[in-house]
């Protein structure tokens, strides 16, 4: 514990002498000196008073170096961004666990770790219960104890999903009902208060957020009826065609890859050979376009022409590539009936060309 060093650093930053601090705390100069040299520590009952004097929280007083913590946090978040881009969730978990060893009550690290673990829960077909329970434990602590409204809000969102997956629907609904409506969201409010170029950028960014939201609506609206699902996927594809012009999809090539793969699955359930192989073929085209897109490119489409597609800033929950995804799909029994189709062979050739 670096409590003594922290007290000394805060005292000096406030231009206080040991005598000044001793007078404010009703203790001796010798006691302050022993604290700062880590020979002894202040009584726990004095911690709230010391924290108030230095205008910090007790957590800050006990758990991190005020001057260096910000740099450490930014460095860790930068590393996390690179790992998220690679889909290496396991290393991201290790990263935040190490961060919490250094700063055990850093609520941002807890919130981030809970989010990564929830992503792992989604990516892992076994849906491990222990992972879900850890997500709940971390998120509950952040929601209960964190003073940062943004961090607490993110943790509430994660906790809502975790409760739902854990069968605790009443708790999930309570959190959801306690969150602001879309009309009170940051995005809608910024639409109103910004002007000029800033407003246009916000409106375009909101357009992409709506596309993502609509994608989750499509996934949530699927049924056992393949014809119903085919209509849903086609609706989403039509929306992307409205927003993006002349194959200006950028990141959203991956959404088209998913959509056409979804179409292929549902056509396969109808034993529709032609549409199944055509959709498999098209999904691969979008997978290739997604992987081969430039590191950074500006959109040209009217509704998003002020925004950039930045490859290094995308994140995913798994290291499984689109190539591996399609290979795993083709191994499923549902696609056995198209393996003798001529176009199926072209699909296999395309797969070999994906790097």
pLDDT tens track for 313-329 = 999 888 888 888 889 99
Residue 83: what pLDDT? 96
Q: Is pLDDT of 174 > 80?
A: yes
Q: Mean per-residue pLDDT for 342-351?
A: 85
Residue 352 has a pLDDT of 80
Q: Looking at residue 126, what is its pLDDT?
A: 63
Residue 1 has pLDDT above 60, yes or no: no
CA dist 325 and 121 (Å) reads 18
CA distances 213 to 191, 239, 346, Å, are 18, 12, 34
**pLDDT tens per residue across span 99-158:** 988 877 788 999 999 999 999 998 876 678 999 999 999 999 999 888 788 999 999 999
- Dist. CA 343–CA 345, nearest whole Å: 5
Residue 69 has pLDDT above 70, yes or no: no
| pLDDT number for residue 125 | 63
The phi and psi torsions of 152 (rounded to 5 degrees) equal -65, -40
CA dihedral 237, 239, 240, 243 (to 10 degrees): 160
Q: What is the mean pLDDT of the chain?
A: 91
- Is residue 293 helix, strand or coil? coil
pTM (two decimals)? 0.77
Give the DSSP letter string of 239-270.
Answer: HHHHHS-TT--GGGHHHHHHHHHHHHHHHHHT
Residue 296 β-bridge partners? 310
Place of tokens 């994608």: 215
pLDDT score at 68:
54
Judged against a pLDDT cut of 90, whether residue 350 lies above it is answered with: no
Is residue 264 a contact partner of residue 280, using CB atoms and an 8 Å limit? yes
User: pLDDT by residue (tens digit) across 204-256?
Assistant: 999 999 999 999 999 999 999 999 999 999 999 999 999 999 999 999 999 99
State how far the alpha carbon of 264 is from the alpha carbons of 96, 98, 182, 348, in Å. 38, 43, 34, 15
- pLDDT tens-digit map of 105-122: 788 999 999 999 999 998
């Amino acid at each position: 514990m670096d409590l003594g060093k922290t007290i000394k650093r805060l005292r000096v930053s406030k231009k206080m002498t040991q005598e000044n601090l001793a007078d404010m705390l009703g203790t001796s100069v010798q006691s302050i000196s022993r604290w700062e040299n880590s020979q002894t520590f202040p009584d726990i009952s004095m911690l709230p008073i010391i924290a108030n004097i230095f205008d910090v929280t007790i957590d800050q007083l006990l758990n991190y170096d005020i001057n260096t913590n910000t740099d450490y946090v930014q460095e860790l978040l930068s590393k996390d961004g690179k790992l998220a881009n690679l889909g290496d969730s396991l290393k991201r978990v290790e990263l935040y666990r190490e961060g919490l060893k250094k700063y055990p009550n850093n609520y941002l690290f807890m919130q981030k770790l809970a989010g990564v673990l929830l992503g792992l829960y989604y990516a892992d077909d076994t849906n491990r219960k222990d992972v879900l329970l850890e997500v709940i434990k971390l998120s509950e602590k952040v929601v209960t104890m964190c003073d940062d409204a943004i961090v607490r809000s993110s943790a509430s969102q994660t906790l809502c999903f975790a409760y739902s997956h854990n069968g605790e629907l009443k708790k999930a609904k309570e959190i959801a009902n306690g969150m602001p409506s879309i009309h009170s969201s940051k995005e809608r409010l910024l639409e109103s208060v910004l002007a000029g170029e800033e407003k246009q950028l916000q409106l375009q960014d909101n357009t992409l957020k709506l596309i993502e939201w609509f994608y989750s609506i499509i996934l949530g609206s699927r049924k056992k009826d393949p014809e119903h699902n085919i209509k849903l996927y086609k609706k989403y594809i039509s929306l992307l065609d409205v927003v993006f012009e002349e194959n200006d999809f950028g990141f959203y090539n991956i959404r088209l890859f998913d959509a056409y793969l979804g179409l292929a699955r549902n056509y396969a359930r109808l034993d529709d050979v032609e549409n199944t192989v055509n959709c498999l073929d098209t999904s691969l085209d979008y997978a290739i376009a997604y992987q081969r897109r430039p590191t950074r490119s500006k959109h040209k489409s009217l509704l998003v022409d002020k925004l950039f597609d930045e490859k290094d800033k995308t994140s995913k929950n798994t290291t499984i590539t689109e190539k591996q995804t399609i290979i795993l799909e083709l191994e499923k029994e549902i696609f056995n009936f198209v393996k003798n189709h001529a176009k199926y062979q072209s699909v296999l050739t395309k797969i070999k060309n994906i790097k």
